[in-house]
Amino acid sequence: MTDATSTPPGGGARTKSSLMTLDNRVRRRNAAEARFRAYGIAAVTVGLIFLALLLFAIVRNGVPAFTQTFMTIPVELKADKLDKNGNRDIEEIKKVSTFGYKPLIIDAMSRTLADNGIESPFAKDKDLEKMVSASASAQIRDFVIANPGRIGETVDFRVLASSRVDGYMKGRVAREDLARDKNLDAEHLDVTDALNEAGVLKREFNWAFILGADASESRPEQAGIGVSMLGSFFMMLVVLGLALPIGVAASIYLEEFAPKNRWTDLIEVNISNLAAVPSIVFGILGLAVFIQFAHLPQSAPLVGGLVLTLMTLPTIIISTRASLKAVPPSIRDAALGVGASKMQSVFHHVLPLAMPGILTGTIIGLAQALGETAPLLLIGMVGYIASNYPDGIASGFLDPNSAMPAQIYEWAKRADPAYYERAWGGIIILLLFLMTMNIIAIILRRRFERRW
Amino acid sequence: MPALWLLCIVLAIAVIGFFLGRARAMASAQGDARHLHSLPGYYGYNTALTVLVPALGVMIAWLILQPMLIQNAVSDAIPGTAYADTGALNLIMSDVRRVADGLDLAIAQGAMTPDAATALSTETTNIRETLAQVGVALGSDVEPYVLSAAQDYRRLNGIGHLAMTVIVLALAIGGFAFAYLRTNKDFRARNVVEKGVLAMLIFAASIAIMTTIGIVLSLVFNTVEFFKLYPWTEFFFGLTWAPSFGGGSELGIIPLFWGTFYISIIALAVAVPVGLFAAIYLSEYATPAVRAFAKPMLEVLAGIPTIVYGLFALLTVGPALVTVFGPDATGWMGGSRAVITAGLVMGIMLIPFVSSLSDDIINSVPQAMRDGSLGLGATKSETIKQVVMPAALPGIVGAILLAASRAIGETMIVVLGAGAAARLSMNPFEAMTTVTAKIVSQLTGDADFASPEALVAFALGMTLFVITLGLNVFALWIVRKYREQYE
Amino acid sequence: MYDAPASEQKVTQNETKIAARNVQVFYGSTHAIKDVNVEIEDKTVTAFIGPSGCGKSTFLRCLNRMNDTIDICRVEGDILLDGEDIYDARVDPVQLRAKVGMVFQKPNPFPKSIYDNIAYGPRIHGLAKNKADLDDIVEKSLRRGAIWDEVKDRLHAPGTGLSGGQQQRLCIARAVATEPEVLLMDEPCSALDPIATGQVEELIDELRENYSVVIVTHSMQQAARVSQKTAFFHLGNLVEYGETGQIFTNPVDPRTESYITGRIG
């Protein structure tokens, strides 16, 4: 210990100071500390503010989609228009197209105005047509075809108001906007106000948005997300049916049986990299392999499901392996010790114990797949108007359909801003599904989680 | 649907096989399971698996291969004079398939007898009209060689289906017979079944590899096709992106790269400081209560689908930025779609990604390091800046690289928020486009898959795949190295 | 001196450096330290001994407020350093820890060069006027840490590349570099082999010339070898405190005797 010198290393430069007084340097350092901490708080706050803004935007813009403006109008089903020959022949009645019903609606509107003592500001009653959704004539026609006996009567119909009237009722369309809008004039809004006061116009909860089908570009008031919800449902069936068994089987092999060699190393590296491959690349894969190569039908939920399966597999494998790893070796040893084969020990003991973890991982993987859009764009699940419910199970898998996120994208692309409201509303439904799935996963984890 | 029926029959044979195999084993042991080598169920499984695996394997392979083989056979029969290049051939082939499917449909609907369908000729019948009646729309009138190819196609398809049915059923019954005859009390059924199960497990594990191979092959083949039609030098070094489906497109990737890069940089400039500081605060400063609230809340951001962020960019952030920087204010911004819109929103999306990865990494720095520094009289921030961060740096770099690869591969936000114009510009308020957005725009719609304008999407995808894969491999390697250091 | 039996060590009365009065420590609802009174002298090695979980490390960590980093830990009573209460609201733990340095159980060099490890403390406390000054401090500290000869040729190699014993001496040198008045050592040799332990013990003895050293150890032999004063902790109580020689040869409390003779532990 010859190196030790008797003076302290700093040469005794420091004078003895009291602990009770802070020197300037410590004060400066403490200020830096406070600043640093403030940056941290600011960062967390910024993150939370972004989340709050996002949720606020979704709720504020999306909630109106769940209500819709309806009006009840008395329509006289004039026999001379609908059934010229008067023989109530259903084939002849069917020949009258929806166009033939328009005059009835216009009449009904002007009668409604008259009944409520509202003076029509229009020179021609025809202008009133713009206030009613184009879907109304189809609705009335369907009624007439179903009940040909009621031709000649006056029946009260609850019809959708047009999207502009609806937008005005919801505050989405302002009077200033009308200058650029050829679909509606200021007079229409006056009539709307009057009808609203008279209680003819009503904003009601719109089940058709949740359960209904998509509509063409020009009638946003009629569009619903129900059909694409079914598309998503069939896709999730495919994902669940394939990704869960394959993922679990692959994880069991890799975790329990695989020898440590190059091949398994390669599989492992490959899986962790696949999990980070951009989803759009899976779309290209689906397009090239399932559609170009295997000639599976375009836009079919089956193909969407296959693509999402491949995309979800790495997630499921990674979480399944983690839950298999969490089962302690003592369980395996105990089973092997009483003479079970390796396979029996895994299937009888390890797998059941790991099941809650596997299910949690699978649900989270499914939630991811449910919200994924990009690959669906490439296999043609966008740009398709999902207007028909599938007829059965086979048609559910194979007939062209859309999916919830793809439907939302489709609405976001459409020119009519009324569709934006639908897109936000669709997001609320999608997020409700995702939230439910995640809550189930959390409950599963809480309930069955075991600490060894 | 014959394939479905076939599947049901095979399944039924397997179920019957299970019970018969089990019964035979029990019988050979005089009804006493203790005399058996394996549990009785294993004999049943053995029979069922021997029926199912070969039969279904052949069926799946057949269903995949048959269309390809028939396609090749039929396209050889089409006269070379009828088409100029492979693109035209593909169009003809899709007509052939549509005619063939239409004829099948017509027979199924009873609009035509099978014999009448076989005897059709383009001179006597207007096939386009006939098929339109059953709901199959054709783009043009049917040429004679298309009809004859379609007839060939139907004939080969019929033969193929018949052969498949026969072979699959033969395999199923043969498998049943083989396993059933082998079943006796000394047969080591468990070992055989377990080997079979292991083989299935290995197969499942290989699907991940097959996915990668599928990705690579589908990208490589189409990219090679593309480079046959378009010089690769112009693709990689071209400064203009101007596809036109009429021909004469300029397909330079550089403007797309620039857009991708620019947007990713903005995204990272938002996500890295916010995410990193949030992670530091949550792991080093926050009380347990704050952490228990803020951490899951930030992770909610990660669970929100990208389409939501896309819409948020298009309809909320973009218009908000326009009110600040738009024509009515500073005038910097023309429209709501811009690099800054997409970058900002993508940054928000990446915050939880950066923060939770960094959080893990910061937490894996041993507490002893912090104690050492605090014990020397360092403040917490000095400890973090000078000890924890340098120790965690490799891991954090890895996390940032993973975030960058996310940003580069992100699609929905840029499709909705960034715009469609390919541009080389420094102005973040301008609309630009990215590699992913162009993949989507080139492959959606009714593009002809043989044209360079559609095939370029595969070359773009290939480039994207290579870049993100490189980033991921590198980042995962760094992170793994880092973890090993402290384990 | 190193090999001298504890009973023969020369004992001089030094002034009190740290005085603890009625110190209680709680971890959540656990009462970890119960009413400890002790006076630690300057220029003396004081050893805290006792069975595992007796609270000796906890008490040591109270002396430079390292327990502040644990959320659920609560300290009551007074601990005075040179007559000033270190738990006073006006005291900044940062300033306190500059005066009361600490060496930990496991060597914990920072993932930096040897030079930067030593220079870390002087840099944050602003002890060096310039680079030459800093070089000087680093050299002197490494000499005091008795590791200079081993590392002087590779000052810019990473500190983590040293052997365990070297790492621990590096950590001691690092603690010395900030010119503390008290050095706390929490089982500094438990992760070291016997040869490295010998080197560190020798170093501790040298350090006594300038500092008040408090060492926690579970090795009674080590306490006997390096310390002048010994405190025996048991179940959170300070059972006995006195001259090392006296504790080991003639303990007053029967619990101390049981521990020394190996009946409890």
Chains in contact with chain B (at least 3 beta-carbon pairs closer than 8 A)? A, C
Contact between A158 and A72 under an 8 Å Cβ cutoff? The reply is yes
pLDDT band at A246 (very low <50, low <70, confident <90, very high): very high
CA separation for the pair A105, A128 (Å, rounded): 9
How high is the pLDDT of residue A312?
92
Task: Please tell me if residue A44 touches chain B, with a CB cutoff of 8 Å.
Answer: yes
CA distance B296 to chain C (A): 21
State the best of C69, C92, C96, C203 to mutate against chain A, taking most chain A CBs within 10 Å. C92
Is pLDDT at B313 greater than 90 in this prediction?
yes
Is pLDDT at A247 greater than 90 in this prediction?
yes
How high is the pLDDT of residue B414?
92
> Which residue in C17, C10, C2, C51 sits closest to C197, CA to CA?
C2
CA separation for the pair C99, C95 (Å, rounded): 7
Chains in contact with chain A (at least 3 beta-carbon pairs closer than 8 A)? B, C
More confident residue, A385 or A108: A108
- pLDDT one-digit tens code per residue, A249-274: 999 999 888 888 888 888 888 888 88
Chains in contact with chain C (at least 3 beta-carbon pairs closer than 8 A)? A, B
Lowest mean pLDDT among A326-330, A385-389, B46-50: A385-389
State the best of A19, A21, A22, A26 to mutate against chain C, taking most chain C CBs within 10 Å. A19
How high is the pLDDT of residue A8?
47
Number of H helices, E strands in chain B: 19, 2
Cβ–Cβ pairs < 8 A, chains B and C: 73
How high is the pLDDT of residue C12?
56
Q: What is the side-by-side order of every strand in the sheet holding C16-27?
A: C30-41, C16-27, C73-81, C84-85
Residue C19: list chain A partners with CB under 8 A.
Answer: none
CA separation for the pair C126, A24 (Å, rounded): 11
Share of chain B above pLDDT 70, in %: 93
Task: Please tell me if residue B72 touches chain C, with a CB cutoff of 8 Å.
Answer: no
How high is the pLDDT of residue B139?
65
pTM, two decimals, is: 0.85
Residue C42 phi/psi, 5° resolution? -75, 155
Task: Please tell me if residue A279 touches chain B, with a CB cutoff of 8 Å.
Answer: yes
How high is the pLDDT of residue C7?
43
Is pLDDT at A383 greater than 70 in this prediction?
no
pLDDT band at A152 (very low <50, low <70, confident <90, very high): confident
Q: What is the largest CA-CA distance in chain C?
A: 56
CA separation for the pair C249, B60 (Å, rounded): 87
Q: What is the largest CA-CA distance in chain A?
A: 125
Among all residues of chain A, which has the CA nearest to that of C143? A3
Among all residues of chain B, which has the CA nearest to that of A267? B209
Q: Which of residues 99-138 of B touch A (CB under 8 A)?
A: none
Among all residues of chain B, which has the CA nearest to that of C107? B368
Query: Between A8, A9, A20, which is nearest C88 by CB?
Result: A20
Cβ-based interface (< 8 Å): residues of C facing A: 81-82, 84, 86, 88, 90-92, 94-96, 99, 122, 124-127, 136-137, 140-141, 143-144, 146, 148-149, 176-177, 179, 202-203, 206, 209-210
Does residue C1 form part of some domain?
Answer: no
More confident residue, B402 or B94: B402
How high is the pLDDT of residue A451?
63
More confident residue, A85 or B275: B275
Q: What is the mean pLDDT of residues A47-76?
A: 91
- For chain B, list the domains and their CATH numbers: 3-187 (no CATH), 241-482 (1.10.3720.10)
How high is the pLDDT of residue A433?
94
Does residue C265 form part of some domain?
Answer: no
pLDDT band at A435 (very low <50, low <70, confident <90, very high): very high
CA separation for the pair C245, C222 (Å, rounded): 13
How high is the pLDDT of residue A40?
95
Please report which helix (H) or strand (E) contains residue A103, including its range: helix A102-115
Residue A276: list chain B partners with CB under 8 A.
Answer: 402, 405-406, 468, 472, 476
Does residue C104 form part of some domain?
Answer: yes
CB contact under 8 A, B312 and A250: no
Is pLDDT at A114 greater than 80 in this prediction?
yes
Query: Between B306, B355, B385, which is nearest A373 by CB?
Result: B306
Q: What is the mean pLDDT of residues A276-302?
A: 85
Q: What is the largest CA-CA distance in chain B?
A: 100
Task: Sort strands C84-85 and C30-41 into parallel, antiparallel or unpaired.
Answer: unpaired
Residue C86: list chain A partners with CB under 8 A.
Answer: 19
Q: What is the mean pLDDT of residues A102-122?
A: 84
Residue B348: list chain A partners with CB under 8 A.
Answer: 50, 54
Does residue C158 form part of some domain?
Answer: yes
Q: How far is CA B163 from CA B56, B114, B433, in A?
A: 14, 20, 51
CB contact under 8 A, C110 and B391: yes
**In chain C, which stretches have pLDDT less than 50?**
1-9
CB contact under 8 A, B371 and C94: no
How high is the pLDDT of residue A423?
93
Q: Which tokens sit at B115?
A: 């014999």
CA separation for the pair B383, B371 (Å, rounded): 9
Among all residues of chain B, which has the CA nearest to that of C179? B376
Q: Which of residues 287-306 of A touch B (CB under 8 A)?
A: 287-289, 292-295
Share of chain A above pLDDT 90, in %: 28
CB contact under 8 A, C179 and A8: yes
- Average predicted confidence (pLDDT) for chain B: 85
CB contact under 8 A, C71 and B370: no
What amino acid occupies position A133? S
How high is the pLDDT of residue B88?
67
Q: State how many domains chain C has.
A: 1
- pLDDT one-digit tens code per residue, B211-243: 888 888 889 988 998 898 888 888 888 888 888
Among all residues of chain A, which has the CA nearest to that of C89? A20
Residue C108: list chain B partners with CB under 8 A.
Answer: 366, 368-369, 371-372
Is pLDDT at A300 greater than 70 in this prediction?
yes
- pLDDT one-digit tens code per residue, A203-236: 888 888 888 888 887 788 888 898 899 999 999 9
- pLDDT one-digit tens code per residue, A2-48: 444 444 444 444 456 777 778 888 889 999 999 999 999 999 999 99
Residue A420: list chain B partners with CB under 8 A.
Answer: 315
State the best of B376, B388, B482 to mutate against chain C, taking most chain C CBs within 10 Å. B376
CB contact under 8 A, B378 and C124: yes
pLDDT band at B2 (very low <50, low <70, confident <90, very high): low
Among all residues of chain C, which has the CA nearest to that of A15? C179
- pLDDT one-digit tens code per residue, B115-125: 777 777 766 67
- For chain A, list the domains and their CATH numbers: 66-205 (no CATH), 226-448 (1.10.3720.10)
Residue A39: list chain B partners with CB under 8 A.
Answer: 277, 281
Interface confidence (ipTM) of the complex: 0.89
Residue A28: list chain C partners with CB under 8 A.
Answer: none
CA separation for the pair B416, A413 (Å, rounded): 8
Share of chain A above pLDDT 70, in %: 94
Is pLDDT at B142 greater than 80 in this prediction?
no
Q: Which residues contact A52 (CB under 8 A, 6 or more apart)?
A: none
How high is the pLDDT of residue B342?
93
Query: C255: domain range?
Result: 6-260
> Which residue in B137, B139, B161 sits closest to B70, CA to CA?
B161
CATH number of the domain at C56, please. Answer: 3.40.50.300
Task: Please tell me if residue C94 touches chain B, with a CB cutoff of 8 Å.
Answer: yes
CA separation for the pair C232, C209 (Å, rounded): 24
Task: Please tell me if residue A365 touches chain B, with a CB cutoff of 8 Å.
Answer: no
Share of chain B above pLDDT 90, in %: 23
Query: Between C84, C92, C125, which is nearest A30 by CB?
Result: C92
CA distance C123 to chain A (A): 12
**Local structure of residue A346 (DSSP, 8 states):** I
Task: Please tell me if residue C143 touches chain B, with a CB cutoff of 8 Å.
Answer: no
